[in-house]
Chain A
Amino acid sequence: MVQIVASITSLFFMLVVTAVFAFVAMKSREKRDYEPIKKKWYKARTFYGTTLVILFLVVTIYTLRELPYDQPVYGEENLPIIVDVEAIQFGWNMSETEFSVGEPIEFHVTSSDVTHGFGIYDEDKNLIAQTQAMPEYTNEVYITFEEPGTYEILCLEYCGLAHHLMIQKIEVK
């Protein structure tokens, strides 16, 4: 979902950039005095720059409202399951690998050797959450699975020659 929004947004602005560069290239062979062009373009730049700053501000505020770092507020009856995850060249030690739909889960992720990446993939192989698995530190991922199925943990930080084989299945019922 996030990926789709990100891709479409990127594609849109990349096409805008392409159109602008193509337009200017097309108009490049005509020859006009520079001074009037400068005057006009500088005026336009003030508008363009301001628009851009406002756009960035709006997007910033909008996207910073909820961050994956924030621990959810749990109700009395709905305390999270804490799962200890330890990455090790080249596998995952997890205190639990079977979960239920709707229960809040906290993965507490660390590593016993080098840095790995803890990436949770759904059945369609979409990345839905991740954090770094670092030696000496514990990073937390908060997640509540909404669909049953077989999910997979893939390693998302290069950690040695079997990096791409660090895969662990987890079941959500």
Chain B
Amino acid sequence: MSSVVSEEKSRNNLVVSYLTIGGIVILAMMVFGVLMLLAQGGVLEFTPAAFYQFLTIHGTGMVGAAAFAAAGVMWYFLSKYVELSKKIMKINLVLFLVALVMVIIGVFSFEYASAWTFLYPLPAISANAWGVTGALLYLFGMLILGVGFLLLHLDMGRAIIKKYGSLAKGLGWDVISGKKAEKDAPSSTVVASTMVTIVNVTAITAGAIVLIMNIINVINPSFTFDPLLAKNLTFAFGHIFANSIIYMAVIAVYEILSKYTNRPWKANKPFLIAWTMSTAFTLVIYTHHMLMDPVMPKWMLIMGQILSYANGLPVLVITAYGALMIVYKSGIKWDMGSGLIYLSMFGWVVGVVPAIVDATIVVNHVMHNTKWVPGHFHMYMALGACAMIFGFMYYLAKQDSSIKTNKIDKLAFIGYTIGILGISGSFLVSGALSTPRRWATHFPEWMAPANVGAVAGVLAVLSLLVFVIHFVRYLNKRNKVDYKQDDKKLA
């Protein structure tokens, strides 16, 4: 019995480490976000080099840390259904930290600033802004990060196949085809994890290929590659990997809302079909990043629009609808955990709207690479995926210790909501005014929304600080309890 408890404890230790690191990195990266907005708003002045380094570290750090924390969430729940390797989870943690250090050194000591999309051949052709060392530190760092995630996903895939027979069965295809009864369908957690395994192994493979192309080109610029192919690989990687974050974190929504409402959230046929659709669409809709590349085959771009619309359906009709249905007249007791989780579904759905609008080719023609784009993905990432992660952190703290939340936490909840809505809203306004994204400075007529965003950003930073402090307080409590129990055991 005690070995079961300590086994669970050490599993939770790992998850807790993932969340702590993720939370702190996200908090730190937000500060760079605020700094960028202040520069764009004309309040602060620093060099373009500094701005683009901030942009690079913010984009890379946010996507990396959110994916890392979300992987912790997924791992926590998935390990209740299948047997996952703790060792691989640890290796991924170490590789993540190594990658983080390499990226930080590359960016800040060697002034590497390609943005997180490292679009070939920019890493090698920087107009003397950075050198080979910075580029290699960054690119190898990303490669190492990818290897860690790849191992993690392969382990998940292995565990799912071992328990359920195949990845197809993990997605519940035998239930969809009628071979198996709905009541024997894999749980929503398993379905989501299978989906993430499939798409992220693909994403990381594409990413690794294009990273290696860039590395070769940086070391020896006479080796060149097809820039259009490189672009396809880059966006296949970037789109899928960034999107997988929410598909990992949404597991917390399924598990936590059904627990809080005492209502089952079973994987029925429509649910399974929706997840299969999400799997397929997530793999192919990256072409909506290439709508302004008319050299691409036209049918691919048209499919890019159509499938991007279609990709909205599973979340709008199944996942979000399911969340609303399970909460409606459920008598749910709201607390920080459930509140953030509910907020996250709102963030996801509300962010889908401007995303779908921008995936329309005629709209994209005048909104692509304007701040409209960060506008929609800050909703989706910061109010969607991140709120899932933070909600899970509150949930875990409550499950695992006697810690209480207080008024300040509640205020932080409101602050976070308003803060992120303010940032995203100001981005959307900027985008509607045609303000380009990734510009170190803005023309005066574009400055006001940036400053509004900066103020909202400060609110978001302070609120997240409260979330993180709460989590750290929980960690302290947890460690103390540990010692006491161990003492007793010894005695």
Contacts and interface: CB of A to CB of B under 8 A. Distances in A.
Interface string B364-381: 011111101000000000
B121 A24 contact: no
A49 B317 contact: yes
Interface of B: 48-49, 52, 55, 113-115, 117, 119, 121-122, 125-127, 129, 226-228, 231, 263, 292-295, 298, 301-302, 305-306, 309-310, 312-313, 316-317, 321, 324-325, 327-332, 334, 342, 345-346, 349-350, 353-354, 357-358, 360-363, 365-370, 372, 428, 431-434, 436, 438-441, 443, 445-446
A34 B325 CA distance: 9
Contact of A20 (B324, B353, B367): B324
Interface string A139-173: 11000000000000011111111111000000000
Given A6-B432, A45-B317, 6 more contacts: A6-B372, A37-B329, A158-B122, A161-B126, A161-B440, A163-B439
Interface of A: 2-4, 6-7, 9-10, 13-14, 17-18, 20-21, 24-25, 27-32, 34, 37-38, 41, 45, 48-49, 52-53, 56, 59-60, 63-64, 66-69, 89-90, 113-115, 117, 119, 121, 125-132, 134-140, 154-164
14 contacts: A3-B433, A6-B367, A7-B428, A37-B329, A48-B317, A49-B317, A56-B310, A127-B370, A134-B227, A137-B293, A158-B117, A158-B119, A160-B129, A161-B127
Contacts of B369: 117, 119, 130, 156-157
Contacts of A129: 365-366
Contact of B52 (A13, A25, A29, A161): A161
A13 B357 CA distance: 10
A64 B361 contact: yes
A126 B436 CA distance: 10
A164 B48 contact: yes
A102 to B, nearest CB: 21
Residue among A10, A29, A121, A140 with most chain B CB within 10 A: A10
B264 to A, nearest CB: 8
A76 to B, nearest CB: 26
B330 A28 contact: yes
Contacts of B129: 160-161
B126 to A, nearest CB: 6
A67 B361 contact: yes
Contacts of A27: 328-329
A127 B331 contact: no
Contacts of A128: 366
A14 B438 CA distance: 25
A162 B48 contact: yes
Contact of B346 (A17, A64, A155): A17
A56 B362 CA distance: 15
Contact of B362 (A28, A67, A134, A158): A67
A59 B360 contact: yes
Nearest to A13: B353
A29 B183 CA distance: 29
Contacts of B310: 56
Contact of A161 (B49, B294, B334, B342): B49
Contact of B440 (A2, A89, A117, A164): A164
Residue from A64, A121, A129 having most chain B Cβ neighbours under 10 A: A64
A87 B248 CA distance: 40
Given A3-B434, A136-B226, A164-B440, A18 B346 contact: yes
Contact of A135 (B227, B294, B327): B227
A37 B325 contact: yes
Contacts of B443: 125
B436 A159 contact: no
Nearest to A67: B361
Contacts of A69: 294, 298, 301, 361
B366 A115 contact: no
Nearest to B124: A114
B370 A10 contact: no
A10 B227 CA distance: 34
Given A48-B321, A132-B292, A125 B433 contact: yes
B292 A131 contact: yes
A155 B436 CA distance: 8
A144 B48 CA distance: 35
A64 to B, nearest CB: 6
Contacts of A113: 121, 125, 127
B292 A3 contact: no
A43 B107 CA distance: 54
A90 B55 CA distance: 19
A-B interface, 5 closest residue pairs, ranked by CB to CB distance from nearest: A31-B331, A127-B434, A32-B329, A164-B439, A156-B369
Contacts of A25: 327, 342
A156 B364 CA distance: 12
A14 B354 CA distance: 8
Contacts of B445: 125
Contacts of A17: 346, 349-350, 353
B38 to A, nearest CB: 16
Given A41-B328, A66-B362, A113-B125, A156 B436 contact: yes
A5 to B, nearest CB: 8
A89 B330 CA distance: 59
B353 A49 contact: no
Given A7-B428, A49-B317, A89 B127 contact: yes
Given A25-B327, A25-B342, A18 B350 contact: yes
